[in-house]
Copies of this chain bind each other. A is one copy, B any other.
Amino acid sequence: MKSDFLTELESEVLLFDGAMGTQLQQAGLGTDTAPEAWNLENPKAIKKIHKSYLAAGSRVIQTNTFGANCIKLGKYDLEDKVTEINQAAVEIAKEVQKDGYVAGSIGPLGKLFAPMGTLTFREGVDVFAEQIRALVNAGVDVISFETMNDLQELRAAVVAAKEVTSEVPIIAQMTFDENLRSLSGTNPQIAATVLDSLGADIIGANCSLGPQGLLEVLKALNRTTDKPIIIQPNAGLPEIVDGETVYQQSPEEMAEYIKRFVQEGANIIGGCCGTSPEHIKAFAEKLSRLEPKRSAADKKFRLASGMELVELSEDSRSLMIGEQINTDSDKRLTEEIKDQVEAGAQVLNINVDGTDIDGVEIQQVVERVQKTSRASMAIDTADIEVLEAGLEAFVGKALINSVTGREEDLNRILPLAKKYGAGLICSTVDDDGIPGTAEKRVEIAKRIKQQTGEYGIAPEDLLINPVAVTVSSQQEAAIETLQAIKLIKEHLDLKTVLQVDNISDKLPKRLLLDRTFISMALGYGLDAYIIDPLNEEIRETILAAEVLVNRDRDAERYITEF
């Protein structure tokens, strides 16, 4: 169901309010008081701030609940008041807000998530869920996560919101430093990729960089996601003048950016630290004549770790997924990861099938992998609990390896892919096994596309595996697999992936057959492959093939390599 809020965004650029914190300080809030305590103790002060923003032209006001979670409130011994405080804040806001919307503000929890800190993903989800539930029950129109600088924390926040409500839209905002990276090393493209696939309804950034810096963030976001984008700059970088924190940018200076924000794709504009009703008034004047732009995003298959984005499109480099990593020993794991990544693997396939690894252990493995490399990750297991634990722990957008066309598989795995925003390898296999013909494989792929669509999984998040069969047992199957690649791409507009090494089983000179087959498959448009990246001959063949199928513009990588 599309809320009024999202509908209005299609035709309007919405104006949020400005800073709450700065205003509260001016109203006399002491440093030993939780700002959110005033929802109970001094609601009039809050109400006054809201009113001033509404008078300035805000269409949306944000509740005074930035730190109203049990961890932060606990520092003021208010951990039991989470519901009460959030509820009060919403009531205050709703009292003054007549035509517009109330956004429930949620900031970071104030405790580091694993792997940087000790808070587990699940614990984080539960803390967020408590606050979200209070805000939603009190009737906010939209949940607004803001000032998040750890991607993993924001992932937990969005997952929590999805667990609490399927109706209230979710805004997910990160903050970035001058290098356009967050604390977790995440850049705007990565943030947009991960948050989009997690199901955030509006994606953006607030605070930290001032309007000029956020303009760059905005451009990057707008190239990556077609979701509405929110930008809430602070009033420039803070300076200390006479012992007080002062923000330097005037309402007029900041308002100069409004037109460019809209041109570059902003759908919501607000102000963060240092902005005042005067700033919002100046924004409102500029905004009144502007209409939202269409998204400039191109839909692509994307995966990401917290620090590195992987993109796959028709003319991009094809995607190298490293064959299974050995998880038995930490030392070997570390070495294999380093070797594979150095050899060009963009995704590491963590195969724990056939091991007795549990949910806790898989999280340790995932953390180790992410400590060792910036690569993306595929999780390869038939154990649904282990899969979910792995997806929780991976800071980024992971790849599930794999789902089949079997109903049972689809029903088990698609909800997880949706919830954790993962890409999906989909094998064209059903209850009758691997089909003999290309057409039958395409049929299964078509059904998978339809069913993933019903779950709200985007078609560009799928990699269809038309399954290469051993030629020594089924010689005509190789051509059918090749043909299927072409048909899946042409008729279903989906990306394809293959694992090629079993094609040559039981025949001599297997590598010769493998590399010849992968040449053919790339010729047919294969987009991705699961291979041993340390296999030089295969790697060289791929480099050559990419020149021939125009996935290596001007043979740049090829010439660099040779």
- CB-CB under 8 A from A517, the residues of chain B are 519, 544, 548
Q: Of A479, A507, A540, A547, which is in contact with the most chain B CB atoms at under 10 Å from its CB?
A: A547
- CB-CB under 8 A from A558, the residues of chain B are 507-509
Contact of A520 among B478, B507, B522, B543 (CB under 8 A): B522
Nearest residue, chain B, Cβ from A518: B519
Is A482 part of the binding interface, using a Cβ–Cβ cutoff of 8 Å?
Answer: yes
Across the interface, do A516 and B544 meet the contact criterion of CB distance under 8 Å?
yes
Nearest residue, chain B, Cβ from A479: B549
- CB-CB under 8 A from A507, the residues of chain B are 547, 555, 558-559
Q: Tell me whether A545 and B520 are in contact in the complex, defined as CB-CB below 8 angstroms, given that A512-B540, A550-B476 are known contacts.
A: yes
Q: Of A509, A516, A522, A550, which is in contact with the most chain B CB atoms at under 10 Å from its CB?
A: A516
Is A523 part of the binding interface, using a Cβ–Cβ cutoff of 8 Å?
Answer: yes
Nearest residue, chain B, Cβ from A509: B562
**How many interface residues does chain A have, given as a range?**
35 or more
Nearest residue, chain B, Cβ from A537: B512
Is A389 part of the binding interface, using a Cβ–Cβ cutoff of 8 Å?
Answer: no
What does the 1/0 interface line of A306-324 toward B look like (CB < 8 Å)? 0000000000000000000
Is A503 part of the binding interface, using a Cβ–Cβ cutoff of 8 Å?
Answer: yes
Contacts of A479-538 to chain B: CB distance below 8 A: 479, 482, 503, 507-509, 512-513, 515-517, 519-524
- In the bound assembly, the distance between CA atoms of A384 and B554 in angstroms comes to 40
What does the 1/0 interface line of A10-33 toward B look like (CB < 8 Å)? 000000000000000000000000
Is A553 part of the binding interface, using a Cβ–Cβ cutoff of 8 Å?
Answer: yes
- In the bound assembly, the distance between CA atoms of A471 and B524 in angstroms comes to 17
Say how many copies of this protein the assembly contains.
2
Is A475 part of the binding interface, using a Cβ–Cβ cutoff of 8 Å?
Answer: yes
Task: Kindly provide the distance from the CB of A550 to the nearest chain B CB, expressed in whole angstroms.
Answer: 5
Is A472 part of the binding interface, using a Cβ–Cβ cutoff of 8 Å?
Answer: yes
Contacts of A452-475 to chain B: CB distance below 8 A: 471-472, 475
- In the bound assembly, the distance between CA atoms of A472 and B520 in angstroms comes to 20
- In the bound assembly, the distance between CA atoms of A541 and B512 in angstroms comes to 7
- CB-CB under 8 A from A553, the residues of chain B are 475
Nearest residue, chain B, Cβ from A524: B523
Nearest residue, chain B, Cβ from A543: B512
- In the bound assembly, the distance between CA atoms of A562 and B471 in angstroms comes to 16
Nearest residue, chain B, Cβ from A547: B471
Chain A contact residues: helix, strand, loop or mixed: helix
Q: Tell me whether A478 and B512 are in contact in the complex, defined as CB-CB below 8 angstroms, given that A519-B519, A523-B520, A523-B524 are known contacts.
A: no
Task: Kindly provide the distance from the CB of A337 to the nearest chain B CB, expressed in whole angstroms.
Answer: 28
Across the interface, do B555 and A541 meet the contact criterion of CB distance under 8 Å?
no
- In the bound assembly, the distance between CA atoms of A515 and B541 in angstroms comes to 9
Contact of A544 among B482, B513, B559 (CB under 8 A): B513
Across the interface, do A548 and B512 meet the contact criterion of CB distance under 8 Å?
no
Q: Tell me whether A478 and B562 are in contact in the complex, defined as CB-CB below 8 angstroms, given that A520-B520, A522-B520, A523-B524 are known contacts.
A: no
Contact of A559 among B508, B512, B515 (CB under 8 A): B508
Q: Of A478, A520, A553, which is in contact with the most chain B CB atoms at under 10 Å from its CB?
A: A520
- CB-CB under 8 A from A549, the residues of chain B are 478-479, 520
Nearest residue, chain B, Cβ from A480: B550
- In the bound assembly, the distance between CA atoms of A537 and B215 in angstroms comes to 54
- In the bound assembly, the distance between CA atoms of A545 and B513 in angstroms comes to 7
- In the bound assembly, the distance between CA atoms of A521 and B524 in angstroms comes to 10
Across the interface, do A523 and B482 meet the contact criterion of CB distance under 8 Å?
yes
- CB-CB under 8 A from A516, the residues of chain B are 519, 541, 544-545, 548
Task: Kindly provide the distance from the CB of A450 to the nearest chain B CB, expressed in whole angstroms.
Answer: 28
Task: Kindly provide the distance from the CB of A401 to the nearest chain B CB, expressed in whole angstroms.
Answer: 24
Task: Kindly provide the distance from the CB of A511 to the nearest chain B CB, expressed in whole angstroms.
Answer: 10
- CB-CB under 8 A from A555, the residues of chain B are 471-472, 475, 507
Contact of A478 among B509, B543, B548, B554 (CB under 8 A): B548
Task: Kindly provide the distance from the CB of A526 to the nearest chain B CB, expressed in whole angstroms.
Answer: 11
- CB-CB under 8 A from A550, the residues of chain B are 475-476, 478-479
Task: Kindly provide the distance from the CB of A512 to the nearest chain B CB, expressed in whole angstroms.
Answer: 5
11 pairs, A vs B, C-beta closer than 8 Å:
A471-B547, A471-B548, A478-B549, A482-B523, A507-B558, A508-B559, A508-B562, A516-B545, A519-B523, A520-B522, A521-B523
Given A512-B540, A519-B523, 17 further pairs, Cβ under 8 A: A478-B549, A503-B548, A507-B547, A507-B555, A507-B559, A508-B559, A509-B540, A512-B544, A515-B519, A516-B541, A517-B519, A517-B544, A517-B548, A520-B549, A521-B523, A523-B523, A523-B524
Chain A contact residues, CB within 8 Å of chain B: 471-472, 475-476, 478-479, 482, 503, 507-509, 512-513, 515-517, 519-524, 540-541, 543-545, 547-550, 553-555, 558-559, 562
Q: List the 3 shortest-distance A-B pairs measured between CB atoms, nearest first.
A: A520-B523, A519-B519, A516-B544
